[in-house]
Amino acid sequence: MNIVELKNPAIIKNRKKLIVIAGFIILFIIGIGIAVYPFFPMIEYKIAPLTMEIPGVPESQTLIEEEAQQTQITGNATNEAKVSDAGAKITSTGIDSVINLLIIPSIGVKIPIVEGTSEAVLNKGAWRLPETSTPDKGSNTVITGHRWKYRPPSEKTFYLLDKVVVGDIFKIIWQGKEYDYKVISTQVVKPTDVWVLNPTTKSTATLITCTPLFSTKNRLVVKGQLISK
């Protein structure tokens, strides 16, 4: 391109026109980004690969058989006594400001809520599934825990989660704030029923463990709805 062409009014006009169009396109993209940003977590959830199965960590077959045999010997009366004794253990929140906690007074649970990308963190506490929400953000906070690796009077087990009933209250201490939930449903689902992990319009906490006892065949799901914070 020679000097004459560079000074050609038509060429200069077209160049300015292209710059203006490019500017409008850039501004449009920025505008779409700003508009969509608040909804990004929901969009990310929708386009992310779906979890094919609700987490459930199997124990060794030997442990399963030993625990099942011991439970059969002790009988249901012992389990009912455990519910009563465990429920009496927790009469206050006992807030630990440095960690996040799940507290279920009716079954004597007070367990740290741990973060991580795999089920291995369940050995340290109850696992908040990373693709789900947190109490401060509303929607659906999903927490899973071991069922039979630990047993009452240990506070760090979901062994008695099947004893929780609609109307019970449980608490989540999250980043130093207390969130109270009222149980609105309990149900047994298949491991592939990942819809229980879906976002919710109301602030919800979903507790999940394996069922029946000493089996990973199904999942026990307890849903609570926020009543205060």
Residue 183 maps to which CATH number? 2.40.260.10
For 131-136, the CB contacts below 8 A with 24+ separation are 131/45, 131/48, 131/51, 131/197, 132/197, 132/199, 132/206, 133/199, 134/174, 135/172, 135/174, 135/177, 135/179, 135/203, 135/205, 135/226, 135/229, 136/174, 136/175, 136/177
Asked if 8 and 77 sit in the same domain, the reply is: no
* Domain containing residue 87: 55-228
- Summarised one tens digit per residue, pLDDT across range 183-211 is 999 999 999 999 999 999 999 999 999 99
Asked if 25 and 78 sit in the same domain, the reply is: no
- Summarised one tens digit per residue, pLDDT across range 119-143 is 888 889 999 999 999 999 999 999 9
Asked if 16 and 64 sit in the same domain, the reply is: no
- pTM > 0.95: yes or no: no
Asked if 76 and 150 sit in the same domain, the reply is: yes
Domain count, the chain: 2
